[in-house]
Amino acid sequence: ATLTQLVAIYEESGQFTRAGDTLAKELPTSGRPPVALLNRLAKLAYKSGDLEGALAYLAHARDLDPGNALIHYLFGVICIDLKLPPEATQSLQEAVRLDPNNPYYSYALGAVRLQEKNPDDAIPLLKKFRDARPDDPRGGFALGVAYFDAYRLDQARKEFESVVNQPETRAGACLYLGRLAVRDDKLDEAADHLRRAIQANPSVPEPYA
C-alpha cells in the first residue's frame, strides 16, 4: 500500500521515471506478473520518454493476454512513435480484428495506411471513425486526405469543406482546398485558401510554397 501511494505521488508531481522504478518493485521475482501492472509500468515508461521500455512491458503483457485489443493498440501507437511501420501495422491490424467497433483503433490503422501510401485501404477505416465521431474534425480531415491521395477529389473537397472552420483542422483543410483549386485552375480561389492556411498556422512552409 505504501509503494502504491508513493507511485501516485511521484506520478502526480511529474516524476515518471521514479514512479516507474518504484512500481517495478511490485513485479514478482518469479511466476506470472499481473497484466494490469505491466500496463501501468508501460504507461509510466511512456510518460518518462522511455519508449523502448514501454514497448518491452507491453510486449510482455501481450504475450500474457494476446486477446486484449487495447494492448495491441498501444503497442502499435508506440511503434509509430519509434518509426517502426511494419510492427505498427501488424499490431493495429490485430487490435482492429479483436475489436472492430472501436473507432480509435480504426483511425490509428487508417493513419498508418495513409503513411504507407495506401489510401484505398485507409478510406474505410477512417470513414468508420468519422461516422462514429462526427464531432471530431480530425476524422473528416484524415478521410479527406485519403480521398485526395486516392484521386477521389470531389469527395475530398466535401470532407475538407466540412472541417475548414474548425480550429484543429483549419490550416490543413485550407491547404488542401487550395491545392484542389489549383488543380481546377481557379487561382484566385486557391490563393485565398492558401492565405487562410498561413493565417491559421504561419509555421507550416507548404502554403507559402
Give dist(CA 6, CA 24) in Å, integer. 12
Q: Which of 48, 49, 53 is nearest to 38 (CA)?
A: 53
Name the E strands within the chain. none
Strands (E), 11-96: none
Torsion sign over Cα 120, 126, 132, 138: negative
Query: Residues in the chain, how many?
Result: 209
pLDDT of res. 84:
92
- Per residue of the chain (209 residues), give pLDDT as tens: 788 889 999 989 999 999 999 999 888 877 789 999 999 999 999 999 999 999 999 999 999 999 999 999 999 999 999 999 899 999 999 999 999 999 999 999 999 999 999 999 999 999 999 999 999 999 999 999 999 999 999 999 999 999 999 999 999 999 999 999 999 999 999 999 999 999 999 999 999 99
What was the pLDDT predicted at 1? 79
CB neighbours of 102 closer than 8 A, spacing ≥ 6? 69, 73, 95, 96
Question: Up-side HSE of residue 95: CA atoms within 13 Å toward CB?
Answer: 25
